[in-house]
Amino acid sequence: MLLQVGSEQEALQAICKILTEDGEFCFAWIGYCEDDLGKTIRPVAKAGKGDVVESFQSLWGKTDTGQEPPGLAVRTAKPNWINDISVDHKASGWGVAAVDAGCASCIALPLIARNQYRGLIDLRGALNLYSAERGVFDNATVEHYAELASCVTQAIAALREDLANDLTSGVKSLRASEERKRAEDALQTARAELARASRLTVMGQLAASIAHEIKQPLAAIVTSGNAALRWLANKPPDLEEARRALNNAVLGGHRAGEVVESVRTMFKQAPQTKTPLDVNRLVREVLALTRSEIQRHHVTVQTALMDVIPKTLADRTQLQQVMLNLIVNALEAMDAVTDRPRVLSITSAIDDPKGVVNTVSDNGTGIEPKNMQRIFDSFFTTKVHGMGMGLSICRSIIETHDGSLLVSSGDPHGTVFQVILPTNVD
Protein backbone atom coordinates (compact mmCIF):
# COMPACT_ATOMS: atom_id res chain seq x y z
CA MET A 1 0.00 0.00 0.00
CA LEU A 2 2.80 2.44 0.89
CA LEU A 3 4.38 1.87 -2.52
CA GLN A 4 1.15 2.99 -4.19
CA VAL A 5 0.10 6.05 -2.20
CA GLY A 6 1.30 9.52 -3.09
CA SER A 7 0.62 11.35 0.20
CA GLU A 8 0.22 10.82 3.93
CA GLN A 9 -3.52 11.48 3.65
CA GLU A 10 -3.88 8.72 1.04
CA ALA A 11 -1.96 6.35 3.33
CA LEU A 12 -4.20 7.10 6.33
CA GLN A 13 -7.35 6.60 4.30
CA ALA A 14 -5.99 3.35 2.84
CA ILE A 15 -5.19 2.03 6.35
CA CYS A 16 -8.77 2.66 7.52
CA LYS A 17 -10.16 1.00 4.40
CA ILE A 18 -7.96 -2.10 4.80
CA LEU A 19 -9.03 -2.52 8.44
CA THR A 20 -12.75 -2.43 7.60
CA GLU A 21 -13.05 -4.12 4.22
CA ASP A 22 -12.77 -7.74 5.49
CA GLY A 23 -15.59 -7.34 8.06
CA GLU A 24 -13.45 -7.64 11.22
CA PHE A 25 -14.28 -4.03 12.10
CA CYS A 26 -17.38 -2.13 11.11
CA PHE A 27 -15.75 1.29 11.43
CA ALA A 28 -12.23 2.74 11.74
CA TRP A 29 -10.87 6.24 12.05
CA ILE A 30 -7.54 7.95 12.71
CA GLY A 31 -7.26 11.20 14.64
CA TYR A 32 -4.35 13.61 15.07
CA CYS A 33 -3.91 15.67 18.23
CA GLU A 34 -4.09 19.44 17.94
CA ASP A 35 -2.10 21.76 20.22
CA ASP A 36 -5.05 24.12 20.50
CA LEU A 37 -6.64 25.42 23.69
CA GLY A 38 -9.22 22.62 23.79
CA LYS A 39 -6.69 19.82 23.12
CA THR A 40 -8.91 18.35 20.40
CA ILE A 41 -8.34 15.21 18.37
CA ARG A 42 -8.96 15.99 14.71
CA PRO A 43 -10.25 13.11 12.51
CA VAL A 44 -8.01 12.84 9.43
CA ALA A 45 -9.28 9.59 7.87
CA LYS A 46 -12.20 7.20 8.29
CA ALA A 47 -13.85 4.19 6.65
CA GLY A 48 -16.63 1.70 7.28
CA LYS A 49 -20.38 1.71 7.98
CA GLY A 50 -22.00 4.61 9.77
CA ASP A 51 -20.03 7.56 11.07
CA VAL A 52 -19.17 7.36 14.75
CA VAL A 53 -16.82 10.36 14.48
CA GLU A 54 -19.70 12.77 13.92
CA SER A 55 -21.36 11.83 17.23
CA PHE A 56 -18.74 13.26 19.60
CA GLN A 57 -15.71 15.52 19.90
CA SER A 58 -12.64 13.75 21.27
CA LEU A 59 -10.22 15.59 23.53
CA TRP A 60 -6.84 14.49 24.84
CA GLY A 61 -6.56 16.97 27.70
CA LYS A 62 -7.25 16.20 31.39
CA THR A 63 -10.95 17.06 31.25
CA ASP A 64 -14.19 15.16 31.75
CA THR A 65 -14.62 14.80 27.99
CA GLY A 66 -11.02 13.68 27.77
CA GLN A 67 -11.88 10.39 29.47
CA GLU A 68 -13.06 8.76 26.24
CA PRO A 69 -10.89 5.99 24.72
CA PRO A 70 -9.11 8.20 22.11
CA GLY A 71 -8.15 10.87 24.68
CA LEU A 72 -7.06 8.31 27.28
CA ALA A 73 -4.99 6.36 24.74
CA VAL A 74 -3.11 9.46 23.63
CA ARG A 75 -2.57 10.86 27.14
CA THR A 76 -1.41 7.55 28.67
CA ALA A 77 0.30 6.20 25.52
CA LYS A 78 -1.54 2.90 26.14
CA PRO A 79 -4.49 1.18 24.41
CA ASN A 80 -7.91 1.89 25.88
CA TRP A 81 -11.01 -0.11 25.04
CA ILE A 82 -14.71 -0.63 25.74
CA ASN A 83 -16.26 -4.10 25.41
CA ASP A 84 -19.89 -2.94 25.64
CA ILE A 85 -20.51 0.57 24.41
CA SER A 86 -24.19 0.46 25.43
CA VAL A 87 -23.42 0.30 29.19
CA ASP A 88 -19.90 1.72 29.69
CA HIS A 89 -19.84 5.20 31.32
CA LYS A 90 -16.94 6.25 29.06
CA ALA A 91 -19.38 6.09 26.13
CA SER A 92 -21.87 8.53 27.65
CA GLY A 93 -22.99 11.14 25.15
CA TRP A 94 -21.95 9.23 22.05
CA GLY A 95 -22.71 5.59 22.89
CA VAL A 96 -26.30 5.75 21.63
CA ALA A 97 -25.19 7.02 18.21
CA ALA A 98 -22.46 4.38 18.06
CA VAL A 99 -24.91 1.58 18.88
CA ASP A 100 -27.36 2.91 16.31
CA ALA A 101 -24.51 2.76 13.78
CA GLY A 102 -24.03 -0.95 14.57
CA CYS A 103 -21.01 -0.66 16.89
CA ALA A 104 -20.88 -2.73 20.09
CA SER A 105 -17.25 -2.46 21.24
CA CYS A 106 -14.23 -0.30 20.46
CA ILE A 107 -10.52 0.22 21.07
CA ALA A 108 -8.30 3.29 20.79
CA LEU A 109 -4.61 2.68 20.05
CA PRO A 110 -2.02 5.46 20.53
CA LEU A 111 0.02 6.59 17.54
CA ILE A 112 3.06 8.34 19.01
CA ALA A 113 6.45 8.74 17.33
CA ARG A 114 9.48 10.75 18.43
CA ASN A 115 12.12 12.31 16.20
CA GLN A 116 15.32 10.35 16.79
CA TYR A 117 17.48 13.43 16.26
CA ARG A 118 15.54 16.19 18.00
CA GLY A 119 13.84 14.10 20.69
CA LEU A 120 10.52 15.82 20.03
CA ILE A 121 7.19 14.15 19.30
CA ASP A 122 6.62 14.21 15.52
CA LEU A 123 3.38 12.23 15.60
CA ARG A 124 0.65 12.20 18.23
CA GLY A 125 -2.70 10.61 17.48
CA ALA A 126 -4.93 7.56 17.83
CA LEU A 127 -6.12 4.66 15.68
CA ASN A 128 -9.75 3.87 16.63
CA LEU A 129 -11.40 0.56 15.74
CA TYR A 130 -15.08 -0.39 16.25
CA SER A 131 -16.56 -3.90 16.18
CA ALA A 132 -20.16 -5.01 15.78
CA GLU A 133 -19.64 -7.66 18.50
CA ARG A 134 -19.40 -7.22 22.27
CA GLY A 135 -16.46 -8.47 24.36
CA VAL A 136 -13.99 -8.54 21.47
CA PHE A 137 -11.01 -7.18 23.36
CA ASP A 138 -8.90 -9.01 25.97
CA ASN A 139 -5.22 -8.94 26.87
CA ALA A 140 -4.24 -11.15 23.91
CA THR A 141 -6.20 -9.26 21.29
CA VAL A 142 -5.15 -5.89 22.74
CA GLU A 143 -1.48 -6.91 22.46
CA HIS A 144 -2.11 -7.93 18.84
CA TYR A 145 -3.76 -4.62 18.00
CA ALA A 146 -1.03 -2.70 19.85
CA GLU A 147 1.50 -4.30 17.50
CA LEU A 148 -0.75 -3.25 14.61
CA ALA A 149 -0.73 0.36 15.91
CA SER A 150 3.05 0.23 16.19
CA CYS A 151 3.31 -0.85 12.55
CA VAL A 152 0.98 1.94 11.50
CA THR A 153 3.04 4.47 13.51
CA GLN A 154 6.28 3.32 11.88
CA ALA A 155 4.69 3.37 8.45
CA ILE A 156 3.44 6.95 8.86
CA ALA A 157 6.80 8.10 10.28
CA ALA A 158 8.66 6.46 7.38
CA LEU A 159 6.27 7.95 4.87
CA ARG A 160 6.76 11.40 6.39
CA GLU A 161 10.54 11.03 6.13
CA ASP A 162 10.29 9.89 2.49
CA LEU A 163 7.91 12.70 1.64
CA ALA A 164 10.23 15.21 3.31
CA ASN A 165 13.14 13.97 1.21
CA ASP A 166 10.95 14.00 -1.89
CA LEU A 167 9.77 17.49 -1.00
CA THR A 168 13.34 18.78 -0.72
CA SER A 169 14.18 17.31 -4.11
CA GLY A 170 10.86 18.47 -5.51
CA VAL A 171 11.39 22.05 -4.34
CA LYS A 172 14.76 22.17 -6.09
CA SER A 173 13.23 20.72 -9.25
CA LEU A 174 10.26 23.10 -9.02
CA ARG A 175 12.54 26.11 -8.66
CA ALA A 176 14.53 25.06 -11.73
CA SER A 177 11.28 24.48 -13.62
CA GLU A 178 9.99 27.90 -12.59
CA GLU A 179 13.21 29.52 -13.82
CA ARG A 180 12.82 27.77 -17.18
CA LYS A 181 9.16 28.79 -17.34
CA ARG A 182 10.02 32.43 -16.63
CA ALA A 183 12.66 32.35 -19.38
CA GLU A 184 10.21 30.74 -21.81
CA ASP A 185 7.50 33.26 -20.92
CA ALA A 186 9.93 36.13 -21.46
CA LEU A 187 10.87 34.68 -24.84
CA GLN A 188 7.23 34.24 -25.84
CA THR A 189 6.44 37.77 -24.69
CA ALA A 190 9.32 39.13 -26.74
CA ARG A 191 8.14 37.21 -29.79
CA ALA A 192 4.57 38.39 -29.34
CA GLU A 193 5.66 42.00 -28.89
CA LEU A 194 7.91 41.73 -31.95
CA ALA A 195 5.05 40.32 -34.02
CA ARG A 196 2.71 43.00 -32.71
CA ALA A 197 5.24 45.77 -33.43
CA SER A 198 5.79 44.40 -36.93
CA ARG A 199 2.06 44.27 -37.48
CA LEU A 200 1.58 47.83 -36.25
CA THR A 201 4.46 49.05 -38.40
CA VAL A 202 3.02 47.47 -41.54
CA MET A 203 -0.44 48.81 -40.76
CA GLY A 204 1.01 52.24 -40.00
CA GLN A 205 2.82 52.36 -43.32
CA LEU A 206 -0.32 51.19 -45.08
CA ALA A 207 -2.42 53.81 -43.30
CA ALA A 208 0.02 56.58 -44.26
CA SER A 209 -0.02 55.43 -47.88
CA ILE A 210 -3.81 55.28 -47.98
CA ALA A 211 -4.12 58.71 -46.32
CA HIS A 212 -1.75 60.23 -48.87
CA GLU A 213 -3.50 58.66 -51.88
CA ILE A 214 -7.03 59.39 -50.75
CA LYS A 215 -6.37 62.97 -49.61
CA GLN A 216 -6.83 64.50 -53.06
CA PRO A 217 -10.18 62.86 -54.00
CA LEU A 218 -11.56 63.64 -50.54
CA ALA A 219 -10.48 67.25 -50.86
CA ALA A 220 -12.15 67.41 -54.30
CA ILE A 221 -15.39 66.02 -52.83
CA VAL A 222 -15.40 68.67 -50.09
CA THR A 223 -14.62 71.48 -52.56
CA SER A 224 -17.35 70.39 -54.98
CA GLY A 225 -19.86 70.02 -52.15
CA ASN A 226 -19.16 73.53 -50.87
CA ALA A 227 -19.46 74.91 -54.41
CA ALA A 228 -22.83 73.19 -54.84
CA LEU A 229 -24.07 74.76 -51.59
CA ARG A 230 -23.02 78.20 -52.77
CA TRP A 231 -24.76 77.81 -56.14
CA LEU A 232 -27.92 76.64 -54.41
CA ALA A 233 -27.78 79.62 -52.00
CA ASN A 234 -27.93 82.15 -54.86
CA LYS A 235 -31.13 84.12 -55.48
CA PRO A 236 -32.30 82.49 -57.68
CA PRO A 237 -30.27 79.24 -57.22
CA ASP A 238 -28.06 78.28 -60.16
CA LEU A 239 -29.17 74.67 -60.55
CA GLU A 240 -26.92 73.93 -63.54
CA GLU A 241 -23.73 74.95 -61.72
CA ALA A 242 -24.89 73.11 -58.61
CA ARG A 243 -25.50 69.98 -60.72
CA ARG A 244 -22.03 70.27 -62.23
CA ALA A 245 -20.44 70.60 -58.75
CA LEU A 246 -22.33 67.57 -57.47
CA ASN A 247 -21.21 65.54 -60.51
CA ASN A 248 -17.64 66.46 -59.62
CA ALA A 249 -18.26 65.28 -56.04
CA VAL A 250 -19.53 61.93 -57.38
CA LEU A 251 -16.41 61.61 -59.55
CA GLY A 252 -14.29 62.29 -56.45
CA GLY A 253 -16.12 59.53 -54.63
CA HIS A 254 -15.39 57.08 -57.45
CA ARG A 255 -11.74 58.13 -57.32
CA ALA A 256 -11.61 57.39 -53.59
CA GLY A 257 -13.08 53.95 -54.29
CA GLU A 258 -10.40 53.33 -56.91
CA VAL A 259 -7.73 54.16 -54.33
CA VAL A 260 -9.17 51.57 -51.95
CA GLU A 261 -9.32 48.99 -54.72
CA SER A 262 -5.70 49.74 -55.59
CA VAL A 263 -4.73 48.69 -52.08
CA ARG A 264 -6.41 45.33 -52.64
CA THR A 265 -4.71 45.06 -56.02
CA MET A 266 -1.37 45.79 -54.41
CA PHE A 267 -1.69 42.61 -52.37
CA LYS A 268 -2.89 40.59 -55.35
CA GLN A 269 0.09 41.66 -57.49
CA ALA A 270 2.75 41.40 -54.80
CA PRO A 271 5.31 38.67 -55.51
CA GLN A 272 4.76 35.61 -53.35
CA THR A 273 6.98 32.75 -52.31
CA LYS A 274 4.62 29.80 -52.14
CA THR A 275 5.72 26.52 -50.60
CA PRO A 276 3.82 23.42 -49.43
CA LEU A 277 2.58 24.22 -45.91
CA ASP A 278 1.05 22.23 -43.07
CA VAL A 279 -1.73 24.55 -41.87
CA ASN A 280 -1.86 22.80 -38.49
CA ARG A 281 1.77 23.64 -37.87
CA LEU A 282 1.18 27.22 -38.97
CA VAL A 283 -1.74 27.53 -36.50
CA ARG A 284 0.45 26.27 -33.65
CA GLU A 285 3.18 28.76 -34.56
CA VAL A 286 0.75 31.68 -34.46
CA LEU A 287 -0.74 30.47 -31.14
CA ALA A 288 2.78 30.41 -29.70
CA LEU A 289 3.35 33.99 -30.88
CA THR A 290 0.07 35.17 -29.35
CA ARG A 291 0.42 33.30 -26.06
CA SER A 292 0.95 36.46 -23.99
CA GLU A 293 -2.02 38.18 -25.65
CA ILE A 294 -4.21 35.15 -24.94
CA GLN A 295 -3.22 35.24 -21.27
CA ARG A 296 -3.71 39.00 -21.04
CA HIS A 297 -7.28 38.68 -22.33
CA HIS A 298 -7.95 35.72 -19.93
CA VAL A 299 -9.01 33.46 -22.81
CA THR A 300 -8.99 29.64 -22.92
CA VAL A 301 -7.85 28.11 -26.23
CA GLN A 302 -9.44 24.91 -27.53
CA THR A 303 -7.96 23.24 -30.63
CA ALA A 304 -9.21 20.30 -32.67
CA LEU A 305 -6.65 19.85 -35.43
CA MET A 306 -6.67 16.77 -37.66
CA ASP A 307 -3.75 14.41 -37.09
CA VAL A 308 -3.00 14.14 -40.80
CA ILE A 309 -4.07 16.92 -43.15
CA PRO A 310 -3.10 17.63 -46.79
CA LYS A 311 -0.63 20.44 -47.40
CA THR A 312 -1.52 23.63 -49.25
CA LEU A 313 0.68 25.75 -51.52
CA ALA A 314 0.93 29.14 -49.84
CA ASP A 315 3.04 32.07 -48.71
CA ARG A 316 3.85 31.33 -45.05
CA THR A 317 4.22 34.98 -43.98
CA GLN A 318 0.94 36.07 -45.51
CA LEU A 319 -1.03 33.16 -44.05
CA GLN A 320 0.53 33.85 -40.65
CA GLN A 321 -0.69 37.44 -40.96
CA VAL A 322 -4.21 36.22 -41.73
CA MET A 323 -4.32 33.82 -38.75
CA LEU A 324 -2.74 36.45 -36.47
CA ASN A 325 -5.39 38.99 -37.45
CA LEU A 326 -8.28 36.55 -36.93
CA ILE A 327 -6.98 35.41 -33.53
CA VAL A 328 -6.34 38.96 -32.24
CA ASN A 329 -9.79 40.05 -33.46
CA ALA A 330 -11.34 37.09 -31.59
CA LEU A 331 -9.49 37.96 -28.37
CA GLU A 332 -10.63 41.58 -28.53
CA ALA A 333 -14.20 40.52 -29.31
CA MET A 334 -14.38 38.70 -25.96
CA ASP A 335 -13.14 41.59 -23.79
CA ALA A 336 -16.70 42.57 -22.87
CA VAL A 337 -17.74 39.01 -21.88
CA THR A 338 -18.18 38.63 -18.10
CA ASP A 339 -21.01 36.10 -17.71
CA ARG A 340 -19.31 33.06 -19.26
CA PRO A 341 -15.82 31.67 -19.87
CA ARG A 342 -13.95 33.27 -22.77
CA VAL A 343 -13.12 30.51 -25.25
CA LEU A 344 -11.18 30.70 -28.52
CA SER A 345 -11.71 27.60 -30.68
CA ILE A 346 -9.53 26.66 -33.66
CA THR A 347 -10.17 23.57 -35.80
CA SER A 348 -8.91 22.10 -39.04
CA ALA A 349 -10.61 19.67 -41.40
CA ILE A 350 -10.67 18.47 -45.00
CA ASP A 351 -12.95 20.51 -47.26
CA ASP A 352 -14.29 18.57 -50.22
CA PRO A 353 -13.39 18.00 -52.93
CA LYS A 354 -9.74 19.12 -52.60
CA GLY A 355 -9.19 21.64 -49.87
CA VAL A 356 -8.60 22.29 -46.19
CA VAL A 357 -10.59 24.53 -43.89
CA ASN A 358 -9.40 26.24 -40.73
CA THR A 359 -12.11 27.58 -38.42
CA VAL A 360 -11.47 30.35 -35.89
CA SER A 361 -14.42 30.99 -33.56
CA ASP A 362 -15.03 32.92 -30.36
CA ASN A 363 -17.90 33.27 -27.90
CA GLY A 364 -17.75 37.07 -27.77
CA THR A 365 -20.42 39.67 -28.43
CA GLY A 366 -20.69 38.73 -32.12
CA ILE A 367 -21.44 40.83 -35.23
CA GLU A 368 -24.81 42.43 -35.78
CA PRO A 369 -26.69 40.91 -38.75
CA LYS A 370 -26.86 44.28 -40.50
CA ASN A 371 -23.04 44.48 -40.47
CA MET A 372 -22.36 40.88 -41.54
CA GLN A 373 -22.42 41.71 -45.28
CA ARG A 374 -20.04 44.65 -44.86
CA ILE A 375 -17.48 43.10 -42.53
CA PHE A 376 -14.92 42.62 -45.34
CA ASP A 377 -15.44 46.07 -46.88
CA SER A 378 -12.46 48.39 -46.83
CA PHE A 379 -12.62 51.01 -44.05
CA PHE A 380 -15.64 49.38 -42.45
CA THR A 381 -15.05 48.59 -38.78
CA THR A 382 -17.06 47.90 -35.64
CA LYS A 383 -14.15 48.92 -33.37
CA VAL A 384 -13.91 52.36 -31.81
CA HIS A 385 -10.31 52.85 -32.95
CA GLY A 386 -10.27 50.41 -35.86
CA MET A 387 -9.11 51.26 -39.40
CA GLY A 388 -11.37 48.80 -41.15
CA MET A 389 -8.56 47.33 -43.26
CA GLY A 390 -7.59 44.10 -41.45
CA LEU A 391 -10.33 41.77 -42.67
CA SER A 392 -10.29 43.35 -46.15
CA ILE A 393 -6.58 42.60 -46.44
CA CYS A 394 -7.08 39.08 -45.03
CA ARG A 395 -9.71 38.27 -47.65
CA SER A 396 -7.44 39.66 -50.42
CA ILE A 397 -4.58 37.44 -49.26
CA ILE A 398 -6.77 34.32 -49.16
CA GLU A 399 -8.23 35.10 -52.60
CA THR A 400 -4.72 35.41 -54.09
CA HIS A 401 -4.23 31.83 -52.85
CA ASP A 402 -7.37 30.74 -54.76
CA GLY A 403 -9.18 30.30 -51.46
CA SER A 404 -12.04 31.96 -49.65
CA LEU A 405 -12.62 33.62 -46.28
CA LEU A 406 -16.14 33.23 -44.85
CA VAL A 407 -17.87 34.60 -41.78
CA SER A 408 -20.97 33.53 -39.85
CA SER A 409 -22.55 34.00 -36.43
CA GLY A 410 -21.61 31.58 -33.65
CA ASP A 411 -24.14 29.43 -31.81
CA PRO A 412 -25.21 30.72 -29.35
CA HIS A 413 -22.59 33.48 -29.09
CA GLY A 414 -19.69 34.97 -31.00
CA THR A 415 -18.41 34.82 -34.56
CA VAL A 416 -17.00 32.05 -36.77
CA PHE A 417 -14.42 32.66 -39.53
CA GLN A 418 -13.51 29.92 -42.03
CA VAL A 419 -10.30 29.99 -44.07
CA ILE A 420 -10.66 27.61 -47.01
CA LEU A 421 -7.55 26.83 -49.08
CA PRO A 422 -6.95 24.42 -51.97
CA THR A 423 -4.62 21.43 -51.57
CA ASN A 424 -3.45 21.17 -55.17
CA VAL A 425 0.15 20.52 -54.16
CA ASP A 426 2.09 18.53 -56.76
Give the integer Cα–Cα distance in Å for 110 and 32: 10
Single-letter amino acid, residue 128: N
Contacts (Cβ under 8 Å, ≥6 apart) of 192: 289, 290, 291, 292, 293
End-to-end alpha carbon distance in the chain: 60
Domain 8-137 in CATH 3.30.1490.20? The answer is no
Q: pLDDT tens digits for 24-62?
A: 899 999 999 888 887 888 888 999 887 777 666 677 766
User: Which among 57, 49, 58, 41 is positioned nearest to 16, based on CA atoms?
Assistant: 49
Q: pLDDT tens digits for 191-220?
A: 677 666 656 655 655 565 566 556 667 877
Q: Where are the alpha helices (DSSP H) in 334-408?
A: 369-372, 390-400
Listed in order, strand segments (DSSP E) in 120-272 are 121-131
- Look at strands 274-277 and 404-409 and give their pairing: unpaired
Give the integer Cα–Cα distance in Å for 359 and 357: 6
Length of the chain: 426
Q: Where are the alpha helices (DSSP H) in 234-315?
A: 239-269, 279-289, 291-296
pLDDT at 51: 72
Q: Answer yes or no: are the C-beta atoms of 397 and 282 closer than 8 Å.
A: no
DSSP state of 90: G
Q: Answer yes or no: are the C-beta atoms of 366 and 409 closer than 8 Å.
A: yes
pLDDT at 389: 66
pLDDT at 196: 64
Does 241 have pLDDT greater than 90? no
pLDDT band at 417 (very low <50, low <70, confident <90, very high): very high
Using a pLDDT cut of 70, give the percent of the chain over it: 76
Give the integer Cα–Cα distance in Å for 328 and 398: 18
Q: pLDDT tens digits for 147-161?
A: 888 888 887 877 777
DSSP state of 238: -
pLDDT band at 315 (very low <50, low <70, confident <90, very high): confident
Tell me the longest C-alpha to C-alpha distance in the chain: 127
Would you list the domain boundaries of the chain?
8-137, 180-269, 274-422
pLDDT at 420: 92
CATH number given to 274-422: 3.30.565.10
CATH number given to 180-269: 1.10.287
User: Which among 142, 129, 82, 132 is positioned nearest to 104, based on CA atoms?
Assistant: 132
